[in-house]
Structure 1
Amino acid sequence: MMQNTIPSFHFNTFSNSQSPLAAHELIARSLSTTSTSDEADADERRQRRMISNRESARRSRMRKQKYLDELWSRVIRLRNENRTITDKLNHVSECHDQVVRDNARLKEEASELRRMAIDVGIGSPFSLALTELEEVPCNTAYLRAESTTNQSITNSVNLLY
């Protein structure tokens, strides 16, 4: 293989003033040029690899930044969603508390109306049925639907008295 890299020289082309030592120097220079070009190729490959590595690192940093941006937008979206759900939960809780208060008030009103009905119609056949109603469980779904109707009836009754 080394024979391919050594240029062919014709020693008879040297003038008498040039010695065989000068020819040896020329061969050594051509070899050093070849090794220099190999080193230049190696340097060039190193440079290309370095540039490629830098580009790869830049792409990696960009991917990481994009991922972090996506995570932050997800955090913000989830916080907003959490706030919305908390607000809805608070509203439902307030509505539940109001229904419980309305239910208790309506039970008191029903009990008072039963007592009044019993007092008015002591000998009435309905008095037994009214006392049996004391034990009937309350249907909250019905009360919720009828609460606005009951309020308007209660307001009307209060206006009459």
Structure 2
Amino acid sequence: MQHNEITELQYLIPPNTPQFPPTFHLNNHQCITTDPLHNFQNYPQIQSSFSSNNSSTSEEADELNDEMGLIFNERKQRRMISNRESARRSRMRKQKQLDELCSQLHLLRTENLQLIDKLNIFSERHDEALQENAQLRDEVKELRQMITDLKI
């Protein structure tokens, strides 16, 4: 589109339309304004129809927000219940594991005490066997001495 074509298009604008704001200018055949509300502020009939549409859409948006809020709250409530149930199951699992570990600890301590008792019994028997063995060696030594004395 060329610059002279744009000026021809201005004839299509209704005669009571206000002039462009001073910040409006052409840049590479594109219209740029620094005031984003310019179009609605300068056209009251568009602004009022937009506002009436906006109020009806606002009510619809409020209803939609309420519905979304209810859905969100329902999901949040379900998630909270699910999280509580999951936490309860987790606590039960941990308690069960703790109970099993305590039971295992009790069994292992009992077994450990029994093994210590057996070790003590075997240690005593070992000491007795060593003493008996020493006595028998002494007897063997004495008997050998007696035999050598008889041969002479």
Q: What's the TM-score, normalizing by structure 2?
A: 0.58
Q: Indicate the residue corresponding to 1:156 in structure 2.
A: none
Residue correspondence of structure 1 range 1-161 to structure 2 within 5 A: 31-122=61-152
Extract unaligned runs of 5+ from structure 1.
Answer: 1-23, 123-161
Identity across matched positions, percent: 49
| Aligned equivalents of 2:58, 2:143: Cα separation in 1 | 125
| Aligned equivalents of 2:61, 2:116: Cα separation in 1 | 81
Alpha carbons of structure 1 residues 44 and 120: separation in structure 2 relative to 1, 3 Å: same
* Offset of residue 101 of structure 1: 0.5
| Aligned equivalents of 1:114, 1:27: Cα separation in 2 | 124
- May I ask how many residue pairs the two structures share in their alignment? 102
| Aligned equivalents of 1:25, 1:76: Cα separation in 2 | 74
More helix by share: 1
What RMSD, in angstroms, separates the aligned Cα atoms of the two structures? 2.6
* Offset of residue 119 of structure 1: 2.2
| Aligned equivalents of 1:107, 1:76: Cα separation in 2 | 46
Q: What's the TM-score, normalizing by structure 1?
A: 0.55
| Aligned equivalents of 2:129, 2:143: Cα separation in 1 | 20
Task: Tell me which amino acid in the other structure corresponds to 2:73.
Answer: D
Extract unaligned runs of 5+ from structure 2.
Answer: 1-53
* Offset of residue 28 of structure 1: 5.7
* Offset of residue 121 of structure 1: 2.5
Of the two structures, which has the highest relative contact order with CA contacts closer than 8 Å and spacing of 6 or more? 1
* Offset of residue 96 of structure 1: 0.8
